[in-house]
Structure 1
Amino acid sequence: MVNSTTLAHLNTNIDHLTTVLSSYAGRDKAIRSLAFYLQLKSTTSPDNAKEILGLAKQLSAARLVSRQFNHPGMLKSCRQIMQAFQTGRIGDPLEFLTGAAVTGIYTVYGFVELLAWLSDAKILAFNSARLYKWCLYLWLSELINGIVRQMRVIYRKGIEKSQEDILTLVGLSSDFISGVNSLPHKILWAGKLSMRQSASFSLLASIIGFYKLW
């Protein structure tokens, strides 16, 4: 029989999960985690690898569609950054500049991805493969700025007060390691990671992102 304490913990966890999954960020991180878990699972299930990867691809496609509703929010964030710059409310210059770069790059990324998606669907006549490649470059640029920003934050706050920032840094670095693997060969460690290794880094970043929302 379930005691009252266990039931209370269960109800609390369900409430937390409901709150997290009610937000865009929570759903995105949950779907991303599941997609990369399936990629990782496919490496140990050769008989069902094709079907598992097919489901992972559908989850990634669902995230892509959902991201198209981010454009107004990203434009608003860019406007707020411009207002902060004009009024001189920027705080630490390096932290502000790298944060602004992350927002600006991700905003451009969103529109390039939109063009790539529409081209992939044959609605536009652009080269979707080339556009998706540019998305990768933009994403890696955003990650670099995010990593530099987190290192600056940790330096200013000190290690003891930066546990959450360190966790964020680990997540960004994990994504960067996996992302570089998708670059053309001969660039750093591009193409040298196995699918299992790449999926593991991406899954770690996804779980960290979901955990931070909990």
Structure 2
Amino acid sequence: MESTSKSRYIKLALKLLESYRGRDNIIRISSYVTMLLSSFGKQGGPMNVHFGVITQQLNLCRTILRLFDDLPMLAATATYGFGKHEKVLGVGLLKAFENLAYQIFFPVEHVAWLAHAKVLKGYNEGKWMAGCIALWAVALTLAITRNIISLRAMRKTTQEVQKQITIEGGFEDSSLEVKSTSLTKSVQELKLNEYNMRLDLLKNIADLCNAVNWLPPGFLWSGKIPTSITAMCGILSSYLGIYQTATKMVSDKKTV
């Protein structure tokens, strides 16, 4: 039984590495772990420098991989549109603007990368990178707002369904019992969706802490969070990203 469980986890780990999203999150968490290790070393010391270099290279790896994200993002943005299918008021519009922020983010980051590589001369890498981070912060703020609105709507729906179960539970009718069982399953699904939305909210908050910290000095808490805390926020966010991707893979396998 234990060997079967281990085999399942190994297969899931391999699937994560084979998928773009899974591999990106694994590279991401690795970069934050090396950033944390770098922060433990003395400034300018071997540990600080060596792990710092590894962090930079892992981040550069992700930047290069994102050179090919424009078209998939454009397809996702076009497919989603203004989210008219969303049941909760405002969620669709927030998601649409979030998609737009990410859509602009990619070409801006490409220019920053080209400036960093000295391919584009006369372009200020720092300003373009600040633009990237600002767009990321805007997208995260929109996502957090969307998460909060969705959570409130989910909680309200769950309470209404639970109230309906309580009312119908008092009647001795087989048809009502069947309906009550169906409603109980709906509540379980709603609670699972709410749990996943909470994880997404926590992930976005952790990322926003870092995004604002990396903005030019003078804006909110920019430049005030220590490297070790920044790394831990990144590790938390990346772990949640890996967990969400793995959970979706398992869920998709069950539905096939």
Number of the residue aligned with 1:143 = 140
Number of the residue aligned with 1:180 = 212
> What CA deviation, in whole Å up to 9, does each residue of 1:93-131 have, x standing for no partner?
311011111111101000110111112222223222111
Could you tell me which runs of 5 or more consecutive residues in structure 1 were left unpaired when the two chains were aligned: none
Q: Judge which range, 202-211 or 41-50, deviates more.
A: 41-50
Following TM superposition, by how much is the alpha carbon of 1:90 offset from its aligned partner in structure 2, in angstroms? 4.4
CA RMSD of aligned residues (A): 1.6
Q: Does 1:34 align with 2:30?
A: yes
Q: Does 1:79 align with 2:78?
A: yes
Following TM superposition, by how much is the alpha carbon of 1:210 offset from its aligned partner in structure 2, in angstroms? 0.8
Q: Does 1:108 align with 2:104?
A: yes
Number of the residue aligned with 1:196 = 228
Counterparts of residues 1-214 of structure 1 (less than 5 Å): 5-46=1-42, 47-82=46-81, 88-125=84-121, 126-158=123-155, 161=191, 162-214=194-246
TM-score normalised by the chain length of structure 1:
0.91
For 1:208 and 1:90, locate their aligned partners in 2 and report how far apart those are by CA, in whole Å. 24
Task: State the AA in 2 paired with 1:128.
Answer: E
For 1:177 and 1:120, locate their aligned partners in 2 and report how far apart those are by CA, in whole Å. 25
Following TM superposition, by how much is the alpha carbon of 1:6 offset from its aligned partner in structure 2, in angstroms? 1.8
Following TM superposition, by how much is the alpha carbon of 1:185 offset from its aligned partner in structure 2, in angstroms? 2.5
Q: Secondary structure at the match of 2:40?
A: coil
For 1:119 and 1:183, locate their aligned partners in 2 and report how far apart those are by CA, in whole Å. 18
Q: Secondary structure at the match of 2:90?
A: helix
Following TM superposition, by how much is the alpha carbon of 1:78 offset from its aligned partner in structure 2, in angstroms? 2.1
Answer yes or no: is the 8 Å Cα contact 2:130–2:216 preserved in 1.
no
Following TM superposition, by how much is the alpha carbon of 1:184 offset from its aligned partner in structure 2, in angstroms? 2.5
For 2:148 and 2:66, locate their aligned partners in 1 and report how far apart those are by CA, in whole Å. 27
Answer yes or no: is the 8 Å Cα contact 2:112–2:125 preserved in 1.
yes
For 1:209 and 1:30, locate their aligned partners in 2 and report how far apart those are by CA, in whole Å. 9
For 1:89 and 1:198, locate their aligned partners in 2 and report how far apart those are by CA, in whole Å. 37
Answer yes or no: is the 8 Å Cα contact 2:35–2:51 preserved in 1.
yes
For 1:13 and 1:197, locate their aligned partners in 2 and report how far apart those are by CA, in whole Å. 30
Q: Judge which range, 114-123 or 202-211, deviates more.
A: 114-123
> What CA deviation, in whole Å up to 9, does each residue of 1:148-177 have, x standing for no partner?
111111111118721111011001001111
For 1:191 and 1:68, locate their aligned partners in 2 and report how far apart those are by CA, in whole Å. 27
For 1:14 and 1:45, locate their aligned partners in 2 and report how far apart those are by CA, in whole Å. 33
Q: Judge which range, 110-119 or 121-130, deviates more.
A: 121-130
Number of the residue aligned with 2:163 = none
For 1:66 and 1:116, locate their aligned partners in 2 and report how far apart those are by CA, in whole Å. 14
Could you tell me which runs of 5 or more consecutive residues in structure 2 were left unpaired when the two chains were aligned: 159-189, 247-256
For 1:146 and 1:97, locate their aligned partners in 2 and report how far apart those are by CA, in whole Å. 11
Q: Percent sequence identity over matched residues?
A: 26
Question: In structure 2, do the counterparts of structure 1 residues 53 and 94 end up closer, same or farther at CA, with 3 Å as the change threshold?
Answer: same
